[in-house]
């Protein structure tokens, strides 16, 4: 699959690494070699390739990040069709749920527990109910992940 993607994207470097990721500055997709042969690994590789094809470089708000993730999965599904593959929709939704959970936690007012909105491109939220303001981490990696366990409900970690 990596060789086929290299043909489709000659300007992108595909390199083995510790996790799947897209680096716009290096124009590089990193993949985990021991996972790229199973479905989940192939889907992750297609997702990161989706980010590359869409030219995703950065985001300014939490909601924009979620929109980029949705768009990358849509592009991944298109790529999968071109490669005669199918991405499990439940897998996509589980991945997106981890971002939705992350966004919900960040946007919940610590005073009255109302969902709030990000003030601007900063990492600050303001509650429109009680007017509390709070700052959140700028890292998108500080988020809850859903782990799908076979024959069980998903678990937040």
pLDDT at 150 over 60: no
pLDDT at 16 over 80: yes
pLDDT given for residue 123 in this prediction: 85
C-beta of residue 63 within 8 angstroms of C-beta of residue 49: no
What CATH number does the domain located at 1-87 have? 3.30.2010
- pLDDT tens column, 99-131: 999 999 999 999 999 999 898 788 899 999 999
Single pTM value for the model:
0.83
- pLDDT tens column, 21-67: 999 999 999 999 999 989 999 999 999 999 999 999 999 999 999 99
- pLDDT tens column, 33-44: 999 989 999 999
pLDDT given for residue 138 in this prediction: 80
Residues whose CB falls within 8 Å of the CB of residue 135, separated by 6 or more in sequence, listed in order? 122, 123, 124, 125
The more confidently predicted of residues 99 and 145 is 99
The more confidently predicted of residues 13 and 144 is 13
The more confidently predicted of residues 140 and 122 is 122
Question: What is the DSSP annotation of 108-121?
Answer: B-TTT--B-EE-SS
Where in the chain do CATH 3.30.2010 domains reside?
Answer: 1-87
Is the Cα torsion angle 35, 44, 138, 132 positive or negative in sign? Answer: negative
Q: Identify the band that residue 143 occupies on the pLDDT scale cut at 50, 70 and 90.
A: very low
SS3 of residue 147 by DSSP = strand
pLDDT given for residue 141 in this prediction: 61
CA dist 12 and 126 (Å) reads 40
Alpha helices for the chain (secondary structure H): 2-8, 39-53, 62-82, 89-107
């Amino acid at each position: 699959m990596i060789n086929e993607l290299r043909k489709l994207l000659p300007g992108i470097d595909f390199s083995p690494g510790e996790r799947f990721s897209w680096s716009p500055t290096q124009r590089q997709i990193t993949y985990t070699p021991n996972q790229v042969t199973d479905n989940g690994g192939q889907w992750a590789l297609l997702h990161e390739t989706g980010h590359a094809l869409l030219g995703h470089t950065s985001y300014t708000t939490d909601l924009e990040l979620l929109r980029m993730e949705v768009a990358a999965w849509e592009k991944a599904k298109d790529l999968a069709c071109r490669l005669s593959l199918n991405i499990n929709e439940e897998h996509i939704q589980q991945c997106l749920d981890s971002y939705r959970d992350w966004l919900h936690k960040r946007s919940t007012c610590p005073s009255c527990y109302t969902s709030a909105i990000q003030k601007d491109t900063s990492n600050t939220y303001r509650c429109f109910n009680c007017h509390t303001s709070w700052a959140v981490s700028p890292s998108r990696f500080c988020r809850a992940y859903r782990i799908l366990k076979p024959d069980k409900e998903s678990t937040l970690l």
